[in-house]
Structure 1
Amino acid sequence: MLDVHFVNPSAAQKLRTTLLGPWLDSFDDHLSNLGYPLGSRITYVRLTADLGRWMADQELPVEELNESAIDEYVDQRKTQRDRRRAPALHLLAHLRSEGVVPPHRVVPDRSHIAPHCSCYAKYMRQVRGAAEGTVEGYVSVVRCFLAGRFGTGPVDLAVITATDINGFLVQRAGKLSPRRVDYLATALRSFLRFLFVRKETPTDLSTAAPGSLTRHLASVPRYISPAEIEGLLDTCDSTTAGGMRNLAILVLLARLGLRASEVAKLEFDDIRWRSGEIVIRGKGDVVDRLPLLYEVGEALAKYLLNGRPKCSSPRLFLRLCAPIRELGGREAVSGVVRTAIKRAGLNPPVQGAHLLRHSLGTQMIRAGASISEIGEVLRHHSHRSTEIYAKVDFEALRTIAQPWPVAGESR
């Protein structure tokens, strides 16, 4: 309640007389649940009351509040412009969740390309069972390709040629990495196969998109040593909420070889304490179960009991400052790794979360694990993904390496 925030009760009553007054108490509770300290909440409520006064002057009903109105409000206020937008947007989100303001309306894409992209996206989800991230990425490539080929004119899929496909890829090959060009080609092949199956094109043009520009097993895994991994874990201050959270994240990556996205998606129900298992939702919505190692369970328990902020989100890992909500996906998880690497004084060639996954695979093969065992732990869908670890098994490589020829010696 606002009354407890002010020495003079009339101050709270004055705020309640504004157009947005009836929702200020619930808005204050909403901010409290997001972890905002008292000082910030009072500032947000005061600025929200000012927004209410502006809306009354503009004769703008509460139910018509939207992002455009907030932009206009901020532009018309000559002071504290940078501080006004965030409280207003938070209030708008709160009013929408309370049903006071209609949900945000996404303007539909009515371009000539949209129906083809929508149809392809539906096929990817319902027929191919692709993950949402894959669907969005592939559709983005298709949209770019069709826009470049047909411009603002009508789309005639039957006139697409191999020259169009090669031109699209060649135009970007000089600006993008080979891996990224491979991704564009893969997305186009998928789309072109879809068109051929639907008889939208007279021939299967998927073969016109070149295969991989990066040779299989052309690189070696990027990894750090077990001692360096211990150094990363030691950078976490287990007496702080941030240190407990980061240690739990690093242990999951280093001991179980999880992907960053898998760590970010972990929820309470995924930790099966009684059976000693952890449920992992991997690529393509595949669900796996891994053993809950003692070190992993200990780090998770300490974070959940002593470090995790109060929040209604089912996700395990949260932001530590307001607004308190789930951690921002795989990039946030990789950010935890990069921070630990910097604190440990390391300088590996790559610094994301996948570094620890590769390090686990490297440790396993050097400890005598087979390729199939590594693939099972890392949950690779294809053994080809695991074969790369054979290149760091130096002892095994020495047994098959041929001696360097010396001049004058017979072979």
Structure 2
Amino acid sequence: WMALEGIGLDSLDERRTEAFLSTRKPGCRPRGEAATLRLLLDHLRDGGRVRPKPAEPEGNNPVERIARRYERFLVNERCVSATTVKTYLSIVRAFLADRFGTRTADLGSLTVRDCNGFILRYGGNVCWRTSKMSATALRSFLRHLHQGGEIPADLADGILPATKRRQPELPRSLDPDEVESLIDGCDRTTAVGRRDHAILLLLSRLGLRAGEVVAMTLDDLDWNNGLVTVRGKGRHEQLPLPHDVGEALAAWLRDGRPSCPTRRLFVRAHAPHKPFSGASAVSCLVRRALARAELDPPFKGAHTLRHSLATGMLRNGASLEDIGQILRHRHPETTQIYARCDLDSLRDLASAWPGDAP
């Protein structure tokens, strides 16, 4: 098609691919054509064969200009993950549009009532976790504005915490033998199997979050000292690298990981070998592993292995403080929910209670 249209490779971009797709007969376009062309463009750009994608102009939209400044702050100063940046920006854009519309954004006129009113309206139709994320994003944004002198007072402390309407659900976990069958189900004779085996061990042995696995780079592995750097929640922390995890990572790097320009530790199995697009890719990997092991827990995401590690530690006598340190919880309250998972201790307590059972 490009030859017939006289289009050179250096002129290929999104506009050209859309023009090509528009020539396909309705109903005759194979599924995935648009996604395939996007991947082709990414591959050609990585190899320098096609011009880089132009940056989107900020234009005259006042909300977008403010959002872009906040984005640069998150990326350059807070070093948060790409997923968190995307989530925070969507919330901040919605807040600014709700407060100012298309008018000039007078940030100095913002009040705590504006912020809490938005959270109440925005959170009315979403789950508690999303409402909590909205409050967290607004606090971050307001502190950024105050530190930059764009608002006179720090309004972040006035943001009301998101409240649950019911007791939080118990974390869903797997038994230790189920975790081992999940890990052993990887076909380590293949590159994909070696990659998945290493990821499952990171999730189950170190309790990493899916986003932390995605963010890992080759430079995060300190082989000489047996340490791995974990990047998450705006922090960098070094953790000891267990022997079996180190062996699995070495097998992936030596006999599985393809040669590619990215420094990310884990990449896609098929060309172009790009990093995972986000945490959901790791959760999909876990769901496939659960299906192979014929396990059907109520929740099938990557966090299941994090919860399983914590629950297993608790049942083996670890304290909540120890668990909080392993999981790198910032607040002790976050770890308290695991106290409800120790069913054996609760049964012992119930049997020792004086009097007849109700």
- Please indicate the TM-score interval, normalised by the length of the shorter structure: 0.7 to 0.9
- Quick check: 165-174 or 191-200, which moved more? 191-200
Residue 296 of structure 1: how far off its partner (Å): 1.9
In 1, distance between residues paired with 2:151 and 2:252?
55
Q: Where does residue 220 of structure 1 map in the other structure?
A: 170
Residue 365 of structure 1: how far off its partner (Å): 1.5
Q: Where does residue 372 of structure 1 map in the other structure?
A: 321
TM-score normalized with structure 1 length = 0.72
2:26 is aligned with 1:75: no
TM-score normalized with structure 2 length = 0.82
Pick from 186, 190, 202 the counterpart of residue 252 of structure 1.
Answer: 202
CA RMSD between the two structures:
3.5
- Asked if the contact 1:282/1:288 (under 8 Å) is kept, the reply is no
What pairs up with 1:314-353 in 2 under 5 angstroms?
314-353=263-302
Residue 130 of structure 1: how far off its partner (Å): 4.8
The share of aligned pairs that are identical, in percent, is 41
In 1, distance between residues paired with 2:254 and 2:35?
31
Residue 240 of structure 1: how far off its partner (Å): 2.9
- Asked if the contact 2:39/2:272 (under 8 Å) is kept, the reply is no
Residue 63 of structure 1: how far off its partner (Å): 4.7
- Asked if the contact 1:280/1:290 (under 8 Å) is kept, the reply is no
Question: How many positions carry a matched residue from both structures?
Answer: 354
Distance 1:311 1:191, change over 3 A: closer
Q: Where does residue 255 of structure 2 map in the other structure?
A: 306
What pairs up with 1:118-137 in 2 under 5 angstroms?
118-124=68-74, 130-137=80-87
Stretches of structure 1 lacking an aligned partner (at least 5 in a row): 1-49
2:233 is aligned with 1:283: yes
Pick from 233, 236, 257 the counterpart of residue 186 of structure 2.
Answer: 236
In 2, distance between residues paired with 1:216 and 1:371?
23
What SS does the aligned partner of 2:234 have? helix
- Quick check: 378-387 or 179-188, which moved more? 378-387
In 2, distance between residues paired with 1:127 and 1:324?
29
- Asked if the contact 2:324/2:332 (under 8 Å) is kept, the reply is yes
2:2 is aligned with 1:51: yes
Distance 1:266 1:187, change over 3 A: closer
What is the one-letter code of the residue matched to 2:62?
A: H
- Asked if the contact 1:270/1:279 (under 8 Å) is kept, the reply is yes
Q: What are the Cα deviations for residues 8-44 of structure 1, in whole angstroms up to 9, with x where unaligned?
A: xxxxxxxxxxxxxxxxxxxxxxxxxxxxxxxxxxxxx
- Asked if the contact 1:63/1:101 (under 8 Å) is kept, the reply is yes
2:303 is aligned with 1:358: no
Rg larger for? 1
- Asked if the contact 1:131/1:285 (under 8 Å) is kept, the reply is no
- Quick check: 371-380 or 97-106, which moved more? 97-106
- Asked if the contact 2:91/2:134 (under 8 Å) is kept, the reply is yes
Residue 284 of structure 1: how far off its partner (Å): 1.4
What is the one-letter code of the residue matched to 2:135?
A: A
